[in-house]
Structure 1
């Protein structure tokens, strides 16, 4: 027999409701964890039992229930006061830079202008620092590469010199042996003829 569709309605019996809550809470948290794993989203759940006990789930261990409560209360307070909620998703444009969404007409006071200027100067400073770090790293890599390359070249020159010495000694030995085996050029030619025939 397959699964049956259960109509969603309030369970009147208190004991059955508590049992159902316990089972469904675990399933809900499992589905949330699966969704986080599959999509990479950060999800936080707050579920309150029929008895009033809160249960929470968070995909990130750094997000605590107190932090979520604080952020929620601040957001509600800002909405009630009519303030624009300063959310990162509203500030970041498609390419990821907040200054692309900057509207100069919205800067209506010296205070706002100074704040934007300071933010841009901070960005400039951070970019400059990062540039210096990358240049220093590149120089370190170049120095290490040069040192390694110089060491390899020196070793190759050393090996080449040793090979030349060995080759010279080998040729000298061969010449001495050839003179012992073939005292004259004529005997060498006779030996060649004998080999070729």
Structure 2
């Protein structure tokens, strides 16, 4: 007895329109009967009234209805026409509420954006002031020869100022010597 399979079994297919006409018709027939079977089960299990109308690729009409198609469609159309006015008012009220909520959110987001823009400007000014205050701490990698010469001269000037300031501090902090007075 052979244990090998003779068919591939059920395969998962990509859901897109089929290009092969003969495959399309066979698949339609199988799926249509499955759809009608599910509708029938829904009626039996739940007591639901169901109507299905399906047009095949060959423009043939197939329908299923419980108790029948006409009864379910008439019931649907009578409810839609009587509720249409109320439904439209409800939809419009819902739409207006959504628009108001979105406008409120937009206003809040714009306010937050303005605050963040001001903060960015303040940070930019702060960065510029720090850069000018601590010019010696900047990178030298991207400087050309002239910029490096200026940088060198500025550092030498800074060195002189630091030395001068240090000398003044040493002089100020040195104890004053008093000479003994001899009478």
TM score, norm. by length of structure 1: 0.36
Q: Which has the higher contact order (CA 8 A, sep 6+)?
A: 2
Greater Rg over alpha carbons, structure: 2
